Amino acid sequence: MSERKAPAPIVNIETKPFWDATAEGKLLIKKCNACGEVHWYPRSMCPFCHSMDTVWLESAGKGVIYSHSTMRRAPVPYCLAYVTLDEGTTMMTNLVDVDFDALEIGQKVEVSFADTGQGNALPYFTRV
């Protein structure tokens, strides 16, 4: 079980919509209107076709573990992971409220928000 405090993220003018949405429990990703691809981390320019016509898209918050590693040397062990969202892009996150020893690549996970106390929340993932 995670007892780590959710740290406040660094937010800038480009990423503010993403972090504002987390306060409402929404996980946003970016989609390109020109080529149709979704990408992570969210940015103004599509990294695949370089169009500036990108829009926010709400992810269903479901996906599978791409990889994971549990830091045992930290005061409170925690699991760093990549999750591949059902929408097709892969994001870095923490797996929380899980048995670290039972984690396997390919397991289904869903988003779970942790309040930072700073007006936003961190998207973590937990097993379905």
Partner 1 sequence: MSIKGKAFIAGIYEHPTRDASDKSLPQLHAEVAKGALEDAGLTFKDVDAYFCAGDAPGLGGISMAEYMGINIQHTDTTEIGGSSYVAHIGHAAAAIAAGKCNVALVTLAGRPKAEAQKVGTGGGGRGPMFDPNAPELGFEAVYGPATANMYGMAAMRHMYEYGTTSEQLACIKVAASHHAQYNENAMLKKVVTVEDVINSPMISNPLHRLDCCVVSDGGGAMIIVSPEIAKSLDRHCVKVLGHGEAPKHLNGGKVDLTFTGAAWSGPRAFSEAGVTQADIKYASIYDSFTITVLETLEDLGFCDKGKGGEFVMDGNLISGVGKLPFNTDGGGLCSNHPANRGGMTKVLEAVRQLRGEAHEKVQVPDCDIVLAHGTGGSIGTRMGSATVILGREDA
Binding site for partner 1 (CB under 8 A): 4, 6-12, 15, 19, 37-43, 46-48, 66-74, 78, 80-82, 84, 88-94, 105-106, 122
Q: Could you give the CA distance from residue 79 to residue 72 in angstroms, rounded to a whole number?
A: 9
Length of the chain: 128
For residue 128, the minimal CB distance to partner 1 (Å) is: 19
For residue 26, the minimal CB distance to partner 1 (Å) is: 15
| CA dihedral angle for residue 93, residue 97, residue 100, residue 103, rounded to 10 degrees | -70
For residue 78, the minimal CB distance to partner 1 (Å) is: 6
Burial class for 91, CB neighbours closer than 10 Å (0-12, 13-18, 19+):
buried
For residue 127, the minimal CB distance to partner 1 (Å) is: 16
59 phi, psi to nearest 5 deg:
-80, 150
